[in-house]
A and B are shown apart, each in its own frame.
Chain A
Amino acid sequence: MKYYIGVDGGGTKTAFLLGSEEGQRKELLTKGCSYQMIGVEGTVRLLADGIRKLLNVVGAENSQCGGCCMGVPCYGENREKDALIVDGLRQELGEIPFHLVNDVEIAWAGALNGRPGIHLVAGTGAIAFGVGEDGHSARCGGWNEFFGDEGSCYWVGREAMSLFTKEADGREEKGELYELVRRKEGFLEDVEFIDLAIRELIPYRDRVAAFQIYASQASLAGDMAAVRIYERAAGELALLAGALKKRLLLPAGAPVTCSGGLFQNGELIFGALRRELERQDLRLERAERSAAEGALLLAEKQFGRDSS
């Protein structure tokens, strides 16, 4: 019997999913595998260990593994690093066939079950991936959090910091965001925010992204300036999808699915995004499956019996 493995690699966690030809499923969760955080060697070791462990759990030999598909953050953005990861994995995994893709590709494969369309990821970063009816694929966005990742949690977090200062110095009316940040971060003078941000927030990518939660809570409490941040975020995300629609020659009404932490805000983001996507002649759909299932799907497609 053959086994296939799909890996959903992220910045904070990695999900390994093993599937057998008979429909058996086994899952394993580990920490994140982004080489930007743990280095190329760390990435290679974490991925290889996870795969070996899963095969061990079901008592399978390496030769019984039909193939793995791994979605890895930043894959495809730096040729040298990509080559190092591939070489490292080839040494570690030996005869096990594998295929590496960017993590956005497996998210698409899961959410749209391999159908043509666009998948938007808005977690700490933001990127869009689409596949046309001719099978061609393309990515848009996701350059870097400093100047890009528009519409991501990081981006919303930074916009929320800017809004806090505007509410503090009178450029915007004082709203819930101002009260919330002062209360939760516990400072007395507004200028203390500068020092706090420099020491405790800005150096940590995840904390800037987590600052987004204040904007979310303030929006729900009626801070309209905070609500407008999500409207702008939706505009940026729809812009990514619109660009891909054009590049991939997708038809009007093509499906768009979403994943990532930003969408935990429910209608606050979906409401605005649905409107913005309609303007681009695109249709928001619910994701069908997880990214790990998408990776498994791609592994079966690439290495399975019916693969060409």
Chain B
Amino acid sequence: MSYYIGVDGGSTKTVFAVAEASGKILKTVTRSGCSYQSIGIDASVRMLSREIQEILLAEKIDAEDCRGCCIGMPCYGENLEIDAVLLATMGNLLTPIPVQMVNDVEVGWAGSLKCREGIHIAAGTGSLVFGKGVGEQRARCGGWNEFYGDEGSCYWIGRKAMELFSKEADGRIPKGALYEIVRRELGLINDFSFTDVLLESWIPYRWKVAAFQMYAFEAVKEGDEAVKILYSEAAEELALMVKTIRKRISFTNELVEVSYSGGVFHVGELILTPLREKIEKLGCILQEPARTATEGALLLAKKYFGEER
């Protein structure tokens, strides 16, 4: 029997899966985020190797029978020195299992489009768009950093939702459902305490800023029109990344497939409708993801390590 390991690493959570060569998934586990930007390189690689070894142990799989492991890693490809350290360390820790590391957006693409040509939008805590064109053509757009970038991500929407709350509170825009929801959920006695609550328990945590997006979603469901516009602005930012990749690399077909993954899409049609509208104008077609990013990592593991051995 031979096996493959696929890892969909994120900054908020990491999903591990082990599958048989046939593709049958034996086990999937979800753990905390593995982004080295958040927890450091050392903690990141140790956590990844520990979890992989635990799954193998639990499934009674001998490392010798693992043909390979593919890890989708946040920020991979943004710093060549760190990339080299990550790959070498993971290789050592997992010996004898061969390891391949890619950016997490790439496992998203491999899953959603089953490794076909096209464009994948990853919009979770952060955002990044990846395109795979004719032959070996590849391109990335967006990402960079949540402070000034990651446009259209949960973090970006979360921060803008904070801004909208303050605007509803001080009368710059009409008070809507967001105002009531945030006051209630954060237990605010007065509007001014909003800043203190945020500085203490939200802003220092990247995942919590992203989670604030949920209040925006709730507010839209209760009819807050100003907040609804936020999702269409997010779709605009994501479509701009798709447009850029469409221009930068060439594709075989006129109509380019675009798929997606990440927490932003949990709001469903609220983001999908404006996104579909915008990318159709770019000669693209929005496809529901065929597989998960974790399955994408398994597909890539098989692609990298399958035939040669």
Where the two chains meet, the residues of A that have a C-beta atom closer than 8 Å to any C-beta of B are 77-78, 139-141, 143-144, 146-148, 150, 158-159, 161-162, 165-166, 169-171, 191, 193-195, 197-198, 202, 239-240, 242-243, 246-247
Contacts and interface: CB of A to CB of B under 8 A. Distances in A.
30 contacts: A77-B195, A78-B192, A140-B172, A141-B170, A141-B172, A143-B194, A143-B195, A144-B199, A146-B199, A147-B159, A148-B162, A148-B166, A158-B147, A158-B148, A159-B148, A161-B148, A162-B148, A162-B149, A165-B144, A169-B142, A170-B247, A171-B244, A191-B79, A197-B147, A197-B148, A198-B37, A202-B145, A239-B172, A240-B172, A243-B171
Nearest to A244: B171
Interface in B100-159: 140-142, 144-145, 147-149, 151, 159
Contacts of A239: 167, 172
Contacts of A195: 79
Given A143-B195, A144-B198, A191-B79, A247 B244 contact: no
A240 B78 CA distance: 39
B37 to A, nearest CB: 8
A144 B195 CA distance: 7
A247 B149 contact: no
Interface of B: 37, 78-79, 140-142, 144-145, 147-149, 151, 159-160, 162-163, 166-167, 170-172, 192, 194-196, 198-199, 203, 240-241, 243-244, 247-248
B248 A170 contact: yes
Contacts of B148: 158-159, 161-162, 165, 197
A247 B171 CA distance: 8
Given A143-B166, A165-B144, 6 more contacts: A140-B171, A141-B170, A143-B195, A144-B198, A194-B144, A198-B37
Given A170-B248, A171-B241, A148 B163 contact: yes
B143 to A, nearest CB: 8
Nearest to A144: B195
Nearest to B166: A143
A140 B162 CA distance: 15
A171 B198 CA distance: 32
A170 B244 contact: yes
Nearest to A190: B144
B174 to A, nearest CB: 11
Contacts of B203: 146
Nearest to A139: B170
A150 B173 CA distance: 14
Nearest to A162: B148
Contact of A170 (B141, B149, B151, B160): B141
Given A144-B195, A144-B198, A165-B149, A194 B78 contact: yes
Contacts of A158: 147-148
A169 B244 CA distance: 8
Q: Which of B145, B198, B240 has most chain A Cβ within 10 Å?
A: B145
Given A77-B192, A140-B171, A144-B198, A161 B147 contact: yes
Contacts of A144: 195, 198-199
Those 3 A-B pairs whose CB atoms lie nearest each other, nearest first: A161-B148, A147-B162, A243-B171
A161 B78 CA distance: 17
A144 B145 CA distance: 20
Contacts of B166: 141, 143, 147-148
A165 B150 CA distance: 10
A117 to B, nearest CB: 17
A198 B149 CA distance: 12
A198 B248 CA distance: 28
Contacts of A202: 145, 147
B151 A162 contact: yes
A197 B283 CA distance: 35
B195 A194 contact: no
Contacts of A161: 147-149
A146 B78 contact: no
Contacts of B160: 147
B42 to A, nearest CB: 18
Q: Which of A143, A159, A191, A202 has most chain B Cβ within 10 Å?
A: A143
Nearest to B195: A144
A131 B162 CA distance: 27
A146 B149 contact: no
Nearest to B194: A143
A146 B195 CA distance: 10
Contacts of A170: 141, 244, 247-248
Contacts of B195: 77, 143-144
Contacts of A77: 192, 195
Contact of A243 (B172, B194, B198): B172
Contacts of B167: 239
A147 B195 CA distance: 9
